[in-house]
Amino acid sequence: MPFLVFGAPRIEEDEIAEVEACLRSGWLGTGPRVAQFEQDFARWRGVRASQVAAVNSCTAALHVSMVAAGLEPGSEVITTPLTFCATVNAILHAGLTPVLADVDPVTQNIDPDAIEAAITPRTRAILPVHFAGRPCAMDRIMAIARKRGLVVIEDCAHAIETEFHGQPAGTFGDFGCFSFYVTKNVVTGEGGMILGRDEEHVARAKMLALHGMSKDAWHRFGDQGYRHYQVVECGFKYNMMDLQAAIGIHQLARVQRNWKRRRELWQRYDEALAGRPIGLPAAPEEGTRHGHHLYTVMIDARSGIGRDDFLEAMNARRIGTGVHYLSVPEHPYYQQRFGWRPEQWPQAMRLGRQTVSLPLSPAMSDGDMERVVEAVRSVIPA
């Protein structure tokens, strides 16, 4: 029985041919394919091409977005404890101070009431994460931000397809940051995208992502003659390569089809696991589009097995699973630096200790799906 790899991407012949063409073109770095991917992405989310900038990760996107937002050092940024460490690390890299606000136990997204309770005179931004692809309560979050004059940076790592009341995730705040990491819904290997409301802020983020140079390498080394560049800020090395965009262009062209397949798998899990003593993810909310990035089940007191034993049992059945996530304050670095304790954010702590993500990749066959269902049923009898 082959091991079912968690989050395996669905790579097709178009990507392989485009990567080969890119290699043969002699132009591997930031160039025409990145520009094409940016245009395609802008069209997908209904914004102008000047409102997006491709980078080499979502972590990089979050970092330079926060720098470009011009928040003074030490400003507090409110985010969720139920996220990947990169969300909090990016706040720290930007010289800002993370403040956690607990999640809603049903949606697993940051709770707007908890955001309000976490606001201090030093609060300057809110960084919501659309967890698992389910949109945050953007009406309430934007109302809080407007009332208090706060910047909003959306972590859209799970949310390429997500919409809230007909509007795409990433277009509510000042910035939306997307990931094209290998397990995400659109894959470039490593990769990310900045989407910004203000073109000038996006231009600054883009410049910061390439050493703070005023013209990118494509313009400098194109066929229009040598161009001098000027370094106008101390930037970073966060640019996306054409080699990566070559994959992304074709992945993005199939974003809708792959989403439909994940939704099918999601519904099949819902049916097949109903009635077992495990928690299933909340149904998508009316008037929203769920990105269906993660299918998270809760292994709790009723389940008759501990969460970590469940992970082991699935592994023994040759099925890869994930944990999204142990809450941020479970990690020693944040405990030591900020004195955080998981108990301070009890919902995120409990979810983080119970949650298991089942495979939900469009690369899965119906047979793969049934294997996962059978495995869960054998570990957790009705």
Ligand X SMILES: *Cc1c(COP(=O)(O)O)cnc(C)c1O
Which residues carry out catalysis?
A: 184
The kind and range of the H/E element at 63 are helix 58-68
Q: How far is the CB of 59 from ligand X (least distance, A)?
A: 3
How many angstroms separate the CA atoms of 68 and 87, rounded? 16
Q: For ligand X, which is the closer residue by CB, 204 or 324? A: 324
- Taking the CB of residue 33, how many other CB atoms lie within 10 A of it? 28
Stretch that binds ligand X, among 36-44, 53-61, 165-173, 196-204 (CB under 6 A): 53-61
Q: Whose CA is closest to 121, among 74, 154, 79?
A: 74
Q: For ligand X, which is the closer residue by CB, 112 or 128? A: 128
Q: How far is the CB of 28 from ligand X (least distance, A)?
A: 20
Q: How far is the CB of 136 from ligand X (least distance, A)?
A: 12
Give, in order, the Cα–Cα distances in Å from 304 to each of 28, 162, 169, 372, 381.
52, 34, 38, 19, 9
Q: How far is the CB of 219 from ligand X (least distance, A)?
A: 25
Q: Which residues in 310-329 contact ligand X (CB under 6 A)?
A: none
Residue with structure tokens 């589009």? Answer: 289
How many angstroms separate the CA atoms of 330 and 83, rounded? 12
How many angstroms separate the CA atoms of 160 and 180, rounded? 9
Stretch that binds ligand X, among 5-13, 54-62, 67-75, 332-340 (CB under 6 A): 54-62
By three-state DSSP, how is residue 267 classified? helix
Q: How far is the CB of 112 from ligand X (least distance, A)?
A: 19
The kind and range of the H/E element at 144 are helix 138-148
Stretch that binds ligand X, among 57-65, 71-79, 241-249, 300-308 (CB under 6 A): 57-65
Site string for ligand X, 104-143 (x = CB under 6 A): -------------------------x--------------
Q: For ligand X, which is the closer residue by CB, 210 or 240? A: 240
Check binding of 361 to ligand X (CB under 6 A): no
Q: For ligand X, which is the closer residue by CB, 80 or 288? A: 80
Q: For ligand X, which is the closer residue by CB, 79 or 303? A: 79
182, 32, 42, 204 alpha-carbon torsion, rounded to 10°: 90
Structure tokens at 334: 């944040």
Stretch that binds ligand X, among 78-86, 233-241, 250-258, 263-271 (CB under 6 A): 78-86
Residue with structure tokens 């066959």? Answer: 365
Give, in order, the Cα–Cα distances in Å from 199 to each of 50, 52, 55.
6, 8, 16
- Taking the CB of residue 11, how many other CB atoms lie within 10 A of it? 15
Using the rule CB under 6 A, which residue among 84, 266, 295, 345 binds ligand X? 84
210: Cα separation from own chain's centroid: 22
Check binding of 87 to ligand X (CB under 6 A): yes
Check binding of 57 to ligand X (CB under 6 A): yes
- With CB under 6 A as the rule, give the number of residues binding ligand X: 14
Q: Answer for the pair 299, 306: CB distance below 8 angstroms, yes or no.
A: yes
Q: Which residues in 151-190 contact ligand X (CB under 6 A)?
A: 155, 157-158, 179, 181
Check binding of 59 to ligand X (CB under 6 A): yes
Q: For ligand X, which is the closer residue by CB, 354 or 357? A: 357
Q: Tell me phi and psi for residue 124, to 5 degrees.
A: -125, -15
How many angstroms separate the CA atoms of 153 and 138, rounded? 12
Q: How far is the CB of 226 from ligand X (least distance, A)?
A: 33
Q: For ligand X, which is the closer residue by CB, 57 or 303? A: 57
Q: Answer for the pair 354, 279: CB distance below 8 angstroms, yes or no.
A: yes
Using the rule CB under 6 A, which residue among 52, 71, 86, 152 binds ligand X? 86
Site residues, ligand X (CB under 6 A): 57-59, 83-84, 86-87, 129, 155, 157-158, 179, 181, 192
